[in-house]
Amino acid sequence: MVSHIKSFAFSGLNVIEVDVQVHVMSGMPSFTIVGLADKAVTESRERVRTALSAIGLALPPKRITVNLSPADLQKEGSHFDLPIALGLLCNLGAITQESVANHAVLGELSLDGKITPVSGILPAAIGATAREFGIICPSKNGREACWAGDLDIIAPNSLLELINHLKGLDIIPRPNVPPKGQGIGVTYPDMKDIKGQATAKRALEITAAGGHNLLMTGPPGSGKSMLAKRLPSILPPLESDEILEVSMVKSIVGQLVGGDISCERPFRDPHHNCSMPALVGGGSKAKPGEVTLAHKGILFLDELPEFPRQVLDSLRQPLETKEISVARVQSHVTYPSDFQLIAAMNPCRCGYLDDASRACSKAPRCAVDYQSKISGPLLDRIDIHVDVPAINPMDIYKQTESESSEDVRKRVKYARDIQKERNRNNPEPNKYLNSYLDGEELFLACNLEKSARDLLEQAVSKMGLSMRGHNRVLRVARTIADLEGSKDVTHRHLAESLNFRQLSFKKDKSFA
């Protein structure tokens, strides 16, 4: 007899149905798992054997073969423990095949027969809903599965509890309605803490309104990191589809706690010793990296030139395509990576290039060498470049109170609402921000007046803008116009956008 139990394998955020086939026959006692199983799956033999023994069931001295079909797909993870155990229980007559026929099964077994939580339950539950069957998962993952919709969920604490439920001897209640998600009521640092830096705060507002990328350049202690950490406070809350996407990413990496989905916009700030697999994903099992963990949020790279150049250049693809493809010999996985890049750097290694009292004796060569660590193609993908100059600490006592994050967030939401209405017919409704505009849509949205078109022509000639740079200037100008509620992009909007396109160490005073 061959028993069949449904389960899932993961490819990025997608799930692939796996048929766990268990066969018991006469022969020399053995327990073999086939079907491209990794180490964690093959080790399930001992976990399953001991867990069954813990509830008073011993495996017969026969030849046991487990096949994970399709056999040419790599299988990873400990969540195959429970489906293998249920397949054996079907063969032993402890439960019937029909009792689990319409459920996908995921769960890890402990040696005492308890069912412990596993990662990836949310995408698995969504996959089960799409295929119109229920899911059997660990009790601690039950509330997480509830977010997939109205599906039959069986969430036992132990293998014995599950057997009794499937035999009708006991009832496992459906998990409770999920609690409010993480991130509701989260308090972020407020913009009113930033004194001065009006230009940088204006750049941050434009960045938030249009979903643009931002590079801040300035000496140490000028407030670059403070500004970056306050960006989440002026961004609107995640929308329902974005909450689901962010939660699916966290589920895959096992970061959902207690079944709460994540309503908090991601903010990732890896150290500059970050490796390429850690940043963009990879490793032997093609795991997601920081660009995926920052999906629908912010990736903050402080001390940008200190990152290895090869690591920085690996950001080129996700910045353009909003996804990252990780290719390995045995797998090819695509993860979402729709993030805003916020970067900060000093003008040179010592950081005091423009300070006459502190400038190093190696200037300007020191600055040239330091800045050259960032490739031109990467800089071309950053929409807004802004200088963050040092301020006199005593000046903060002379200034009036700054705007709060709530005031700025209202303007950001106003601009985003305009963009959403303008792109309401977009086939991808969650991609309505100006940062996504391209091709004919971009030119129709901008509708440049003649003086603005003349200014743009001069800029292309004098600043040497590439086609990508040209498009990014238009996108930022469109966002500036949206913040003012202007239907057309005027000369003034374009001039401000061009001013934000100039790096401090590549300034062309013609457009200042």
Q: What is the pLDDT of residues 450-484, one digit of tens each?
A: 888 899 999 888 888 889 889 999 999 999 999 99
> What's domain 191-436's superfamily in CATH?
P-loop containing nucleotide triphosphate hydrolases (3.40.50.300)
Please state the pTM of the whole predicted model: 0.90
Q: What is the pLDDT of residues 92-117, one digit of tens each?
A: 999 999 999 999 999 999 999 999 99
Tokens 């590079």 map to which residue? 215
Q: How far is CA 79 from CA 47, 76, 106, in A?
A: 12, 8, 5
* pLDDT score for 506: 45
> What is d(CA 228, CA 230) in angstroms, rounded to the nearest whole number?
5
Q: How far is CA 173 from CA 161, 165, 396, in A?
A: 12, 10, 60
Q: Which residue has the higher pLDDT, 448 or 172?
A: 172
Residue 464: partners with Cβ closer than 8 Å, 6 or more residues away: none
Report which of 288, 279, 292, 303 is spatially closest to residue 228, judged by C-alpha positions. Answer: 303
CATH 3.30.1280.10 given to domain 2-166: no
Asked if 498 contacts 511 with a C-beta cutoff of 8 angstroms, the reply is: yes
* pLDDT score for 373: 87
Residue 206: partners with Cβ closer than 8 Å, 6 or more residues away: 212, 384, 476, 479, 480, 483, 500
Q: What is the pLDDT of residues 309-326, one digit of tens each?
A: 999 999 999 999 999 998
pLDDT value at 201 more than 60:
yes
Residue 305: partners with Cβ closer than 8 Å, 6 or more residues away: 345, 346, 370, 371, 373, 374
Mean pLDDT, the chain, integer: 89
For the chain, domain boundaries: 2-166, 191-436
pLDDT value at 512 more than 60:
no
* pLDDT score for 196: 83
* pLDDT score for 115: 97
pLDDT value at 359 more than 60:
yes
Tokens 């099964």 map to which residue? 105
* pLDDT score for 360: 67
pLDDT value at 293 more than 80:
yes
Of the listed ranges 24-28, 423-427, 442-446, the one predicted with least confidence: 423-427
Tokens 């990508």 map to which residue? 468
* pLDDT score for 188: 85
> What is d(CA 376, CA 38) in angstroms, rounded to the nearest whole number?
41
* pLDDT score for 63: 96
Q: How many contiguous H segments (helices) and E segments (strands) does the chain have?
A: 21, 16
Query: How far is C-alpha 245 from the geometric centre of its chain's CA atoms?
Result: 8
Residues in the chain: 512
> What is d(CA 372, CA 220) in angstroms, rounded to the nearest whole number?
19
Q: How many CB atoms lie within 10 A of CB 358?
A: 12
Backbone angles phi, psi at 340, to 5 degrees: -100, 125
pLDDT value at 430 more than 90:
no
